[in-house]
Amino acid sequence: MSLRSLSPAIRRFALAGAVIAGIFAGTQAFAAAPLPTTSNLGSPAGRPHFMLALGQQPETNLGSTNASAGPHNSCCTPPLINSGGPVEKPANVYLDFWGAQWSVGWADVGTSGPTTYPNAAATIQNYLNDFFTAVAGGTTGWNNSQLQYGSSTGPVYHGEWTDTSSVPPLPVVTDNCNELCFSGSAQNFTQLGMEALAAEAHFGYTAGADYMIFLPPGAYPAGFGVYCAYHDEITDSQGRKISYSVMPYLPNVNSLCGENYVNPTDDAYGHGFLDGYSVVGGHEFAEAETDPFPLTAPAWRTSDGGETGDICAWGSPSTYPSGNISTTSNHWAVQSLWSNSANACVMN
């Protein structure tokens, strides 16, 4: 049987397996974290704020599969209300690629084409670096609507770091999981929070920063496939709260988290194949910007716990638009964000 005859998801694990197995050897499994449900979508104490996957209905118990046929939005009811917490002024973005896999690289295959990526790690890093450079540059206008919530100026991108000093959590397949899950008892994402502190130590502390942690294939929090990413907070040794976001390896779940969501055809740069990284990454970035401490000091939220990206995620194009934002040299897929002033989901 040839590799190309396998399904894209199986090819992904086959292509990456040797690299992952060698790096993960001897590590311990990360304990299962609580799955998002109606009660914790809005981030009560001890839980991060989740971005749900396409087709997941937030009004149901998301501990079990409940995928609908297509895009929808039933998340939350605008407008955004100022709950008194701080916002990032300006939003400072740091990218942390956690795990030696990001240095070694792995191959992957897109689902539309398919296009083969001999080094998917380098492709993703280049795509994200370009995306956040463009967003921070301000020429796309995509983030402009979020400045109404109190940020004095546009965002600042500070670059990327590959942390090979420790190994990300190792998944374990269990009988009652729909996707790869972690075994063990529920806990509060401690390892991911500690990695955020490692990123702070590397880059330095910046007020209004979001440290975005990107995980390699085979390392992701329990319930991946139910949600695409989350953002959270942790207190450092100086008593300062820092904001961080966690992004699993999104191609493992294909269209559930945005692959080919805007661009139907893959290309060598990553358009289509990596649509989810800019759609989901942009979603988390904007929510950390306007609600950086969702557990202890909520800022801009709807009355039922949604944030600026939640309102506009995975919805029908007429009401919840998505598309490409562009510079003179490139483009990236994004979803719209909620604007109180426009009373709508907007792209600029």
Query: What are the average pLDDT values for consecutive 10-residue runs of the chain, which has 348 residues?
Result: 39 40 32 36 59 67 31 76 96 96 95 91 98 95 96 93 86 40 42 93 97 88 74 95 95 92 96 98 98 94 93 88 96 98 96
Q: Please give the DSSP secondary-structure letter assigned to residue 45.
A: T
CB hemisphere CA count around 268 (13 angstroms):
1
Rounded CA separation 215/268 (Å): 21
Give the pLDDT confidence score for residue 227 in this predicted structure. 82
Q: Within a domain: residue 338?
A: no
pTM for this predicted structure: 0.84
The answer to whether position 334 is within a domain reads: no
Closest alpha carbon to 52 in 82, 72, 24: 72
What are all long-range contacts of 39-45, with beta carbons under 8 Å and residues at least 24 apart? 41/75, 41/305, 41/306, 41/310, 42/294, 42/301, 42/304, 42/305, 42/306, 43/294, 43/295, 43/298, 43/305, 44/295, 45/295, 45/296
User: Is 234 part of any domain?
Assistant: yes
First to last CA, the chain: 48
Q: What is the CA radius of gyration of the chain?
A: 19
Rounded distance between C-alpha atoms, residue 109 and residue 149, angstroms: 40
pLDDT of residue 184: 30
* Domain tally, the chain: 1
| Residue 336 in domain | no
In this prediction, residue 164 carries a pLDDT of: 95
Calpha distance 317→193 (Å, rounded): 35
* Residue 293 resides in a domain: yes
Q: What pLDDT is stored for residue 30 in this prediction?
A: 27
At 339, the amino acid letter reads S
Domain that residue 104 falls in: 3-34+83-299
> What DSSP letter does each residue of 50-66 carry, written as one string?
EEEPTTB-TTS-TTS--
Task: Classify residue 53: in a domain, yes or no.
Answer: no
